[in-house]
Chain A
């Protein structure tokens, strides 16, 4: 009996080894294409951006930039661009808040109440993506224009004064941002709401929680992963957006993205790069603090 066992083990061992090393390579092989892509189009540009932020600001595209480890760039840009920088964060915070207020009920209704209309309603949420971001924002320009029906209606209702306008205001910019980023809020919210076992909500009711309390103590905490994902997907791109401020605002609504874009076009690479790095760092810090505070790790 033991001889048979040994024989079996001996003959089975070599193929097992081959298979195991093959398996070890499979993981790396799968990582390779995406890894190369990220290396080429993320790590390399990131390093080049970090480098550019430390170039001598007195250079130009024609004469080239010298690497002088000019950390003063960060101090100078912050002094010059603190206002649009703060405005960007403020606008994206407002945008995130409005997206959450509009998106949560919408996602909740689709996930919990839509029944057989669920897929249709989800398709409607995604439908704007079939038109380009730029075109959609341009149509908002028409929609909010001084002769548009929205302004007329608001004037008739006396919400807007006789000289009031929507276009070229903060309201227009934040409205545009909210519109453009709403699907990014709704989809993760929907995904996490849809995953909640309806019996948990029934259990809340069974254990003396009225519908509001059940929402507060069961549904909302269970949907926190969606809230975190949705707010991040809204806040991060909104903070770097410049299309909405450019098309729907005036220089007074200028966001940091507009300045970065302008500086890059004007060839002021070190300044533009320093602004970009600062924005990136600010977002990373904010996100880290936020995710920590939200405490959703254990739910993920």
Chain B
């Protein structure tokens, strides 16, 4: 039985404001799916429409063979782990977890609740109130309360947002383990790209009510489709360039007078002005004048302006002759020398690590989250 979750042409309008814009999305049954984006990108609204807590202005939502677009929340085979958990404060932990089963008239709920409390390692906490539990424990109760109903889809709305960093890392692995164990489709909403990459099989990056790109974490990171994805998922160096030719499976671009090669499948556009992109850890720094013979792309005459030693790697800021600054991460393997501020260096990287994006986009789209990792979507 296939029970893929399919959103078709979903839009949501809030008093003139378009929160979600003509969204098409298929979440395969059994997958761990992340909706990733900055606050206000429409990811939470999308999740609430799947839960039935908002009604889409247009479009349909199907779950397997069943259309659930207009179905009231309590009739959907879908459960939610709410942001800040929304545990019932007047019920103890056992009653919180048993709530859904009782509402569906399940008679023999007691062993099921105990088993579920065991799964989230809270067996001895049944008689406590939510307010007597720590944030991490409350989070696990919220998860147990939703999972016990064996929903076809489990929705998680920023489930780890209220936890501190260490606990968050731990819960990420825990959630992934539980998802693999129960085999239920998880749809996870987050603004934290690391969280999405750690847990999800598939990530949909949302921005301004539309999906910018969808794919596995590695695909998105390796070959972003837009400047927003390039900046929001990790960091990118984007350099203005112009396409000047195509030879066999390669495109040649002109970067401020220097020729750079990019494999054709890694180019979103094949003519005109473009953004040439390269991830910071894919760039190598070499002393000025060092010849590279392996077909690398090269930019010469850069000057180191800043060096930060961060343990596993060293982070360089280098200024190119046209005054643009690039970020470069060098692994501290000890095999390569380090450079100091003011030194002139050459940069080189492989053509297969280069990507080319349409120049009509803002090169800084999606950057702001580095300064402001907080905020709910």
Residue of A206, A209, A217 near B80 (CB, 8 A) is: A206
- List chain A residues, Cβ under 8 A from B87: 203
CB-CB contacts of B83-105 with A at 8 A, as 1s and 0s?
Answer: 11011111000000001100110
Q: Could you say which of B71-79, B194-202, B308-316 contacts chain A?
A: B71-79
Q: Could you say which of A194-202, A240-248, A252-260 contacts chain B?
A: A194-202
A185 to B281, CA, bound (A): 66
A204 to B79, CA, bound (A): 10
- List chain A residues, Cβ under 8 A from B52: 205-206
Tell whether, in the assembled complex, residue B51 and residue A218 are in contact, meaning their CB atoms are under 8 Å apart: no
B109 on the A face (CB < 8 A): no
- Whether A206 contacts B51 in the complex (CB less than 8 A), given A199-B82, A213-B103, comes out as yes
Residue of B83, B84, B103 near A209 (CB, 8 A) is: B103
Tell whether, in the assembled complex, residue B100 and residue A208 are in contact, meaning their CB atoms are under 8 Å apart: yes
A288 on the B face (CB < 8 A): no
CB-CB contacts of A221-251 with B at 8 A, as 1s and 0s?
Answer: 1100000000000000000000000000000
A188 to B56, CA, bound (A): 36
Q: Tell me the smallest distance from the CB of B76 to a CB of chain A, in Å.
A: 8
Tell whether, in the assembled complex, residue B90 and residue A222 are in contact, meaning their CB atoms are under 8 Å apart: yes
Instruction: Give the residues from 335 to 373 in chain B that come closer than 8 angstroms, CB to CB, to chain A.
Output: none
Tell whether, in the assembled complex, residue A207 and residue B90 are in contact, meaning their CB atoms are under 8 Å apart: no
A210 on the B face (CB < 8 A): yes
Tell whether, in the assembled complex, residue A202 and residue B145 are in contact, meaning their CB atoms are under 8 Å apart: no
**Interface residue tally for chain A (C-beta within 8 Å):** 20
- List chain A residues, Cβ under 8 A from B129: 298
Q: Tell me the smallest distance from the CB of A154 to a CB of chain B, in Å.
A: 41
Instruction: Give the residues from 18 to 69 in chain B that come closer than 8 angstroms, CB to CB, to chain A.
Output: 51-53
Q: Tell me the smallest distance from the CB of B72 to a CB of chain A, in Å.
A: 7
Tell whether, in the assembled complex, residue B100 and residue A207 are in contact, meaning their CB atoms are under 8 Å apart: yes
Residue of B72, B86, B100, B104 near A199 (CB, 8 A) is: B86
Tell whether, in the assembled complex, residue B79 and residue A207 are in contact, meaning their CB atoms are under 8 Å apart: yes
A31 on the B face (CB < 8 A): no
A1 on the B face (CB < 8 A): no
B235 on the A face (CB < 8 A): no
Summarize A's interface: helix, strand, loop or mixed.
Answer: helix
A197 to B85, CA, bound (A): 11
Q: Tell me the smallest distance from the CB of B112 to a CB of chain A, in Å.
A: 14
A123 on the B face (CB < 8 A): no
Tell whether, in the assembled complex, residue B90 and residue A206 are in contact, meaning their CB atoms are under 8 Å apart: no
A299 on the B face (CB < 8 A): yes
A159 to B165, CA, bound (A): 70
Instruction: Give the residues from 253 to 300 in chain A that come closer than 8 angstroms, CB to CB, to chain B.
Output: 298-299
A214 to B102, CA, bound (A): 12
- List chain B residues, Cβ under 8 A from A206: 51-53, 73-74, 78-80, 82, 146
Q: Tell me the smallest distance from the CB of B354 to a CB of chain A, in Å.
A: 46
Tell whether, in the assembled complex, residue B90 and residue A221 are in contact, meaning their CB atoms are under 8 Å apart: yes
Tell whether, in the assembled complex, residue A205 and residue B86 are in contact, meaning their CB atoms are under 8 Å apart: no
B149 on the A face (CB < 8 A): yes
Tell whether, in the assembled complex, residue B104 and residue A222 are in contact, meaning their CB atoms are under 8 Å apart: no
- List chain A residues, Cβ under 8 A from B73: 202, 205-206
Tell whether, in the assembled complex, residue A203 and residue B103 are in contact, meaning their CB atoms are under 8 Å apart: no
Tell whether, in the assembled complex, residue A210 and residue B74 are in contact, meaning their CB atoms are under 8 Å apart: yes
- List chain B residues, Cβ under 8 A from A209: 74, 99, 103
Q: Tell me the smallest distance from the CB of A101 to a CB of chain B, in Å.
A: 23
Q: Which B-chain residue is minimally distant from A197 (CB atoms)? A: B86
- List chain A residues, Cβ under 8 A from B149: 207-208
- List chain A residues, Cβ under 8 A from B84: 199
Q: Tell me the smallest distance from the CB of A157 to a CB of chain B, in Å.
A: 39
Tell whether, in the assembled complex, residue B86 and residue A200 are in contact, meaning their CB atoms are under 8 Å apart: yes
Instruction: Give the residues from 81 to 134 in chain A that come closer than 8 angstroms, CB to CB, to chain B.
Output: none
Tell whether, in the assembled complex, residue B86 and residue A208 are in contact, meaning their CB atoms are under 8 Å apart: no
A103 to B84, CA, bound (A): 31
A299 to B52, CA, bound (A): 30
Tell whether, in the assembled complex, residue A205 and residue B89 are in contact, meaning their CB atoms are under 8 Å apart: no
A298 to B129, CA, bound (A): 10
A221 to B95, CA, bound (A): 14
Q: Tell me the smallest distance from the CB of A198 to a CB of chain B, in Å.
A: 9
Q: Which B-chain residue is minimally distant from A198 (CB atoms)? A: B86
- Whether A208 contacts B88 in the complex (CB less than 8 A), given A199-B82, A202-B82, A213-B103, comes out as no
Identify the 4 closest CB pairs spanning chains A and B, nearest first.
A207-B100, A199-B86, A208-B103, A205-B73
Other A-B pairs, 7, CB within 8 Å; known A208-B103, A217-B99, A221-B90:
A199-B83, A200-B88, A203-B88, A205-B53, A205-B74, A206-B82, A222-B90
20 contacts between A and B (CB under 8 A): A199-B82, A199-B83, A199-B84, A199-B86, A200-B86, A202-B80, A203-B82, A203-B86, A203-B88, A205-B74, A206-B78, A206-B79, A207-B79, A207-B100, A208-B75, A209-B99, A214-B74, A222-B89, A222-B90, A299-B90
